[in-house]
Structures are given as C-alpha cells and as structure tokens.
Chain A
Amino acid sequence: MKERFKRYLEQQFRAIRPTLAAAEYREKVLRQLMDRAQELRIKGMDDDDLIYDKCIAELGDFGATLAAFDEEEHKVANTKRNALLGAVCGVGAVLALVVVYLIVSFLVDNSWGLTWLILVGGAFLGLIALAVVLLIKFGKAKKYIPMRLMPQLVIVLLCVYLFLLLQLVGHVEMAWLTFLVMVIMMAAFDAALAFITDFKFRWIELPIAIEIVCVMLYVIIGVVVGSAFWHPGWLLCLGGVVAGIAEAIVLIANRNKKKDKKEKVRLKDKYTKEDESYYTMWKD
C-alpha cells in the first residue's frame, strides 16, 4: 500500500517545483494517506484496492491542491519580503517624524507646547493608513461589517486632529462643533456604505441616518445662528420621520408597480397571445 501511495505522490509532485518544502509536504501527505488507510482497516474495510481508491479520492483535486501549495510558497516569500519592507518603512517614518519634531521644536521658540501635535498627527496618519488597508482587505473579502467600521475610525481620527488644530493652534471659539460634524459624517458615510454593499437593512438605516444628520444640523445651526433659529428650526428634526414616510411610500409604490407589470405580462400572455395550436394540444 505504502509503495502505491509513494508512486502516486511521486507522479503528482512532478507537477510542481522540487523544493525542500515540497519534499516535506510530500512526506506529510504520505503519512496522512497511511494513517487514513490504517483507520479504514480498523473500521472494517479490508480490500486494498478499495482502501487505496478511497484514500486517493479523499485527496480531492490533488493537482489543484499542489498548484495552490506551490503558489502559496511564492506568496509566503513575498509576504515575508513585504512585511520586512513595511517594517523598515514604518521605523523610517517614525524616525523621520521624531527628527522633524525635534528640529521644529528646537528652531521655533516656545513651540514645545504644540509640536507634540506633529507626533500625534504622524501616529494618526499611520492608523488611518492601516484603516484604509483593512477597508480594502475586508471589502475584497466581502466582510462588510468590519469594513464599515474602518471609515468610522478614519473620520474620528481626522475630526479629533482637526479639533486639536483648531483649538490649540487656531484658537477657534467653537472648535468643539467638529464633534457634531463628526457624527454627521459618520452617519452619512455608513448609510452610503450600506447602500454600496447592499446591506439588508439599508432602507431602515437611511431614515435613521437622515434623522441623525437633521438633529446635528439643528444643533449646529442653532448654536451658530442663535436663539432665533431654535424655533421653528426644530422642524428640521422631523426630517428623518418625513424621509421614512416618503421612503415607505416610494417602496410600496415601486413594489406595486413591479407586481402590476408582472401581472400585466402574465395576463397579456394568457389572453392576447394567439396560439391556435391549443385547439388540439393538451398538457398530457
């Protein structure tokens, strides 16, 4: 039996490159085949031909498995290279950032209180880059829930940094409004992604997002414009409810339209399509 398995594997492994990894893999598969054959014997199968056929059949499309193994070998090497390159670039970027931070801090008088923003900005930029990579990765893998978390992270980081800049550097009075804008952006982006990814509950999410945007706008405009806006500005808060009702009407209308169309086609086929053959034709 072992010799038969060996012969089979020798033949199959000729299709890929004769690397050390391939040799190790071949040994591993042989061991698996022998273990499986032994198991089948213990279970009560005593026909060598049947055992051999069953073991080989259980390997599935072994040619494809080997091709994938060969490709994976390449991939592993490439991944290792890319990881090393990424690590070197990362360390380089951190060092460069620290150098810039020190130079600016030393050259500009009384700047130690603000130059830490350079380091924070660099760290945020790194996190944003990571989030974008993950966004693409999750998107490709069609893992939409974690994918949708990534833009949220980016928006939060951008808004926090913008707030720090406005507050500490620009001394803008109402810099905190950035956080209200942040909520608007988060809701809007997520709703957009829900539609892009065909999220099951996108039509429920849409009026919720609109409601959030409306409330945030109401607060922002109210704060900026002043007391004159609060009333009748509150009407803006009904935006989500109005959008929800409008959406339900549109959805029902569309559904009915589709149904009508189908029914019309069916009735047209049934009553207007002339088919004289029916005079003599029966379903049996």
Chain B
Amino acid sequence: MAKTLKAEMWDKMQYLFRNFYDRMVHCVQYYDGLIDERVLRNVLVFTTEQVPVLHSSFKSNVIDPYWEVEDYTVNDILTVRESVDLEADVNAFICQSIPVESNVQYKMALFNKDGKSTLCMIVNHMCMDGGDFKYFMKKLAENYNKFLDGDRDLEIKTGSRSYDEVYSKLTPEEEEVARGLYKNISQVKDEHYFPLTPPTPGDVTRICRRKVGKQLFADFRKIGKNLGVTVNDLMLTFYVRSLYEIGMFRDDERLTIPCMVDLRRHIVDGGLHTGLTNHTGFMQCSTARKGNTINDTLIEVLRSVRKSKEDPYMGLYSLPLLKLAYTIFPYIISEQAIKIGYLNPLIGMSNIGVMDDRALKMGDANIIDGFMTGAVKYKPYMQLALTSLLGDITMTIAIRGNDEDEKIVERFFDMIIANMNEFVRLNRYRVDGSAPPSGVTLPEAAAPDAMAADIDDGTVTEGEERADAAPEDPTAE
C-alpha cells in the first residue's frame, strides 16, 4: 500500500487557488561559473528523499484530500542542457506548470552556456511559499558546498507542516486570542483591477520582469533610511501611485492592496524547524487618496501600514475560520463554502525579499543575477513580486496574457521607475544637503506621526528589507 501524507490546511487552500493562478513559485539564478551536475544530482535526491511531499502526488479526495508518496528518479526533477538561447530556455522552463498528479512537485533546470550555469526552479505552491523557497535554495547551495568539501552531513528541515505552527511563539494567552480571530479579512470590497485585456484562449504564461537599477535603488533606500521607512513601504508607495496612474483611478478614490506577510515571525526560530510549507498571510494597505506628490502617497501608505504593524496578530486573521471550515465539513463542501466566503484580491504585492548572494554561492560559481516570483495569475488578477539581489531589485509580474498585456505591464514598470525617480528628485536634498525642490511636500511637516511611527518598529513584511540597512550590504534584512 502506498504511503500517504496528510494534506495540510495550506495545501488545500493553495489547491483551491488553482482557480486564480497556476500554483507555481519560480526562481532563476544566474552564475558566473559552472555548477557540477553530479553534485547537484546527489544533493537533489538527498533533499527530495528528506521531504516526501516533494515526491508525492495530490489526491483530491472528496472527504479528505491527501498526498501519496510516489517513486521518482532525479531525471524527473532535473534537466541539464547546453543552451544556445539562454533567455528563451529560461522562459520556456519557468513558464511551465507542474500538475498536482505529477510524481514530483518541483522541477529544476541547469542551463550551461559559455562556461556559466543558470539554475531555474519551479515548485508547486502547495508544497512551499516564497519564504521556504528562499530557505530551500539556500540549503541547496549549502548542501552543494558541503558535498564539494567532502562533508556528507547534509541537512534540510523536516518538521511539522501544520498551519498551527504559527502560534508556536505566542504566549498561551496570545494563542487563545489568535485562535479566536475568525474575522474574514479577504472580504474587503475593493473592485479596482489592473487594466489588462479581457481573457482569450490565445493567452500564454508571461513572466514580465524589470530591474530597478543599483543606483536608483541605492538612492531611494538612502532617502528611506533618512526618513526611517522600510524599502517595503517605499515599494508599496511606488506601486500604489503607479496603480492610480495606470488604472486612471480618481485621486480621491480609496485603494486597498493586500501585501503578503511572512507568518514565520510568529513561529519559534522563524520557522527553521517546521517542515517546508506555506506560512503566508496578508495585511491590507489601504490608501484614502493618491496625494499630490509621491511624498503624500508615502504618508497615506505609512498611515495604513502602521495600523497593521502595530497589530501583534498581523496576518493571523481568518486562519481559525479556514480551519473550522476544513474541520467540520468534508473537503468538497468546505471548498465550496470557502469559495463563497473568500474574495481573491484583484491586485496584490509580495516582497519576497533579499536573495543572499553569499548563501547562494555554489562552489566557485558566484551568483550574478536572479529573481524569485510567485504564481502566474489569471486575468483579471495580478500581483507584483519583488526580490533584491546584489543591491538591485527585480520586479516581476507573472500573468497569463497576450502581447498587449505584456506591453501594459512594461508601461506599468516604466511608471513605477518614474515614481522612484520622482521620489529621489523630491527628497534628494535630505541626504545630500542641497536645497529642496520648490513646492515639495515635507512628509515630516505634513504628518510627523506618520513618519516617526515607522522608525525602528522592528516589523517587516514577507522578506521585507529595511531601508536603514547599510547600502553596502545588500543581504541585510
């Protein structure tokens, strides 16, 4: 009889999200040297053996779904190829989707070209989220390096995948409160959507990406540090303002955007001893108006984000409600019940955070570029994902669309970059001592409390990077 694994609450939730996106999480890492295929194969088999869910197929049983552990070989996971057109190969690989019935739930490709390797990976979101994906890639590199050094004591975490690990760091009193947070926070009726074209059968998966540029990133981070705001707050500000612009929303319209939150902040040791799984919630960022300048938008964002950051139970709302639904009903009914109550946000943002270049080094091969991104959304849903590496930020928007949609996304990236430049132009005087541009709104003067609240409040969203981290240290979180 085949070995089975319990389908945890988040596995089922992510399965439900198949209606909104392709359930894949993606990562691409470019190296300046070659990665040893043999070592990688050994490390991958070790990792896959340690984490059974990675070589299991999902059985959508009407009463209680489960994972069935499957046989596999490393060839089911890893593809190694000499590449002629690297970008075409990378795109073709990351734009595929792994069916839940597959015997493996993640795939990796190693493309070699001109003595350099590019490592690509896609994984079923039901198995892990961005937080654990980053951990997975770090451990892969760590185990690879250990293996090269002759050390066979490889490791990867294998703890519980249960959702209620999120309560492990709370006191019993706090846990009691958190387990009673039945409020459905998805029920925020924001009908703003990203202006993509209507869905057509010809739509294909596209992972659009744009780099911010090291200089621009360094500039606005420095200003952010001066103002005491995080990079996440700044990115949210640029994003929100650009959405007002591309969506042509009225300036006084309220715009609510969910921002993904890594719930591992509530887990003992930041989730280092749980199993690979999802621990993501979201906080709402709701701006009442666009504001005259980018600084005004920043104040709006800070006012909203501050409320969430002050909440000790940030991201923990709705979990008891979901648990209750999955407990009292058979799966087929609970899925319908949750579908009725859950409103998938039309627009979202996920800051996956810093990819640690030192931790991702594989042997002598240094990482020189890369990004991670979330699932490919089906229209009209859309999400901006951010990763930073080597002092630069990569913005990605993964959608299923046509050429026109891609042009719209590219135009949107242009707007974000323009807003970043505008922010730097308006605030450069704060860090270089020059005179402020005429007509500038001073955030401190306009809302001193809004700015002060975010100084060193110690809270970060999923993978959030603090603006006050030293610019020379791109890995600082």
Residues B153 and A44 in contact, CB atoms below 8 Å apart: no
Instruction: Tell which of B49, B74, B152 touches A47, judged by Cβ atoms closer than 8 Å.
Output: B152
Would you give 5 A-B contacts (Cβ < 8 Å), ordered by A? Answer: A40-B45, A45-B42, A49-B152, A50-B42, A50-B147
Interchain CB contact (< 8 A) of B46 among A42, A50, A262, A284: A50
Cβ-defined contact, A40 with B49, below 8 A: yes
Q: Given the complex, which residues of A lie within 8 Å of B458, measured CB to CB?
A: 284
Query: Which residues of B428-477 are within 8 A (CB) of A?
Result: 456-458
A130 vs B459: C-alpha distance when bound (angstroms): 61
**B173 to A, closest residue via Cβ:** A262
The complex places the Cα of A43 from the Cα of B70 at a distance, in Å, of 12
- A-to-B contact residues, CB < 8 Å: 40, 42-47, 49-50, 53-54, 262, 284
Task: Tell me the chain B residues, 64-90 only, with Cβ under 8 Å from chain A.
Answer: 72-75, 78
Known contacts A49-B152, A50-B154; decide if A43 and B147 are in contact (CB<8 Å). no
Residue in B closest to A50 when the chains form the complex, CB atoms: B152
**Least Cβ distance of A266 to chain B in Å?**
9
Q: How far is the CA of A14 from the CA of B315 in the complex (A)?
A: 54
Whether a CB of chain A sits under 8 angstroms from the CB of B325 is no
Instruction: Please measure, in the bound complex, the distance between the C-alpha atom of A54 and the C-alpha atom of B75, giving whole angstroms.
Output: 20
Q: Which 10 A-B pairs have the closest CB atoms?
A: A44-B74, A45-B45, A53-B152, A49-B152, A47-B42, A44-B45, A50-B152, A284-B456, A43-B45, A44-B41
Report whether A45 and B46 are in contact in the complex, using a CB–CB cutoff of 8 Å: yes
Contact of A44 among B44, B173, B456, B457 (CB under 8 A): B44
CA distance A16 to B461 in the complex (A): 54
Asked if B189 is at the interface (CB within 8 A of a chain A CB), the reply is: no
Please name all residues of chain A whose beta carbon is closer than 8 Å to the beta carbon of B3 when the two chains form the complex. none
Chain B contacts of A40 at CB under 8 A? 45, 49
Measured between beta carbons, the chain A residues less than 8 angstroms from B173 are 262
Q: Is the CB of B73 within 8 A of A42?
A: yes
| List of B residues within 8 angstroms of A49 by Cβ | 152
- Beyond A43-B72, A50-B147, A53-B152, list 13 extra A-B contacts (CB 8 Å): A43-B49, A43-B73, A44-B44, A44-B73, A44-B78, A45-B74, A46-B41, A46-B42, A47-B42, A47-B147, A50-B154, A284-B457, A284-B458
B interface size (C-beta, 8 A):
21
Least CB distance from A217 to B in Å reads 38
Whether the pair A53, B456 counts as a contact (CB closer than 8 A) is no
- A40 and B44 CA atoms in complex are apart in Å by 11
> What residue of chain A has the Cβ atom nearest to residue B154's Cβ?
A50
* Chain A residues positioned under 8 Å from B152 (CB to CB): 47, 49-50, 53
Which residues from B are CB-within-8-Å of A53?
Answer: 152-153
Q: How far is the CA of A218 from the CA of B76 in the complex (A)?
A: 74
Chain A residues within 8 Å of B49, by CB:
40, 43, 54
CA distance A50 to B153 in the complex (A): 8
A119 to B48, CA, bound (A): 64
Q: For the complex, what is the distance from the CA of A262 to the CA of B152, rounded to whole Å?
A: 53
Greatest chain B CB density within 10 A among A44, A47, A49, A53 is at A44
| CB pair A54 B46 closer than 8 Å | yes
A36, closest chain B residue (CB) = B49
Bound-complex Cα distance A70 to B163 (A)? 39
In this complex, the member of B45, B49, B154, B456 whose beta carbon has the largest number of chain A beta carbons within 10 angstroms is: B45
Q: CB-CB < 8 A to A50: which residues of B?
A: 42, 46, 147, 152, 154
Contacts of B44 in A (CB 8 A): 44
Residues from chain B with Cβ under 8 Å of A284 in the complex: 456-458
Minimal Cβ-Cβ distance residue in A for B455: A284
B44, B152, B173: most-surrounded residue (chain A CB, <10 A): B152
How distant is A184 from chain B, measured CB to nearest CB, in Å? 35
> Which residue of chain B has its CB nearest to the CB of A52?
B152
Q: How far is the CA of A47 from the CA of B43 in the complex (A)?
A: 10
Listed residue (A42, A43, A49, A284) with the most chain B CB atoms within 10 angstroms of its CB: A43
**Whole-angstrom CA separation of A53 from B173 in the bound complex:** 44
Cβ distance A57 to chain B, nearest Cβ, rounded Å:
9
User: Shortest Cβ distance from A54 into chain B, in angstroms?
Assistant: 6
Closest residue of A by beta carbon distance from B41: A44
Q: How far is the CA of A47 from the CA of B49 in the complex (A)?
A: 15
Q: Tell me which of B42, B44, B173 has the highest count of chain A C-beta atoms within 10 A of its own C-beta.
A: B42
Q: Which residues of A contact B74 (CB under 8 A)?
A: 43-45
- In the complex, which residue of chain A has the Cβ closest to the Cβ of B458? A284
- The answer for the CA separation of A47 and B42 in the assembled complex, in Å, is 7
In the complex, chain B residues whose CB is within 8 Å of the CB of A46: 38, 41-42
- In the bound complex, residues from chain A placing their C-beta under 8 Å from that of B457 are 284
Docked Cα-Cα span, A263 to B430, in Å, equals 47
| CA A40 to CA B153, docked complex, whole Å | 16
A4 to B: closest C-beta gap in Å:
13
Minimum CB–CB distance from A146 to chain B (whole Å) comes to 24
Bitwise, B200-244 to A at CB < 8 A (1) or not (0) is 000000000000000000000000000000000000000000000
Complex Cα spacing A45 to B147, Å? 12
Contacts of B38 in A (CB 8 A): 46
Tell me the minimal C-beta distance from A9 to chain B in angstroms.
Answer: 19
> Which residue of chain B has the shortest Cβ distance to A282 in the bound complex?
B456
State A43–B74 Cα separation when bound (angstroms).
Answer: 5
A50–B149 Cα distance when bound, in Å, is 13
A-facing residues in B143-163 (Cβ within 8 Å): 147, 152-154
Q: In whole angstroms, what is the CA distance A44 to B79 when docked?
A: 13
CB distance from B235 to the nearest CB of A (A): 23
Q: How far is the CB of B454 from chain A (nearest CB, A)?
A: 12
User: Considering the chains assembled together, what is the distance between the CA atoms of A62 and B46 in angstroms?
Assistant: 20
B127 CB to closest chain A CB (Å) equals 18
The complex places the Cα of A284 from the Cα of B78 at a distance, in Å, of: 47
A284 to B154, CA, bound (A): 38
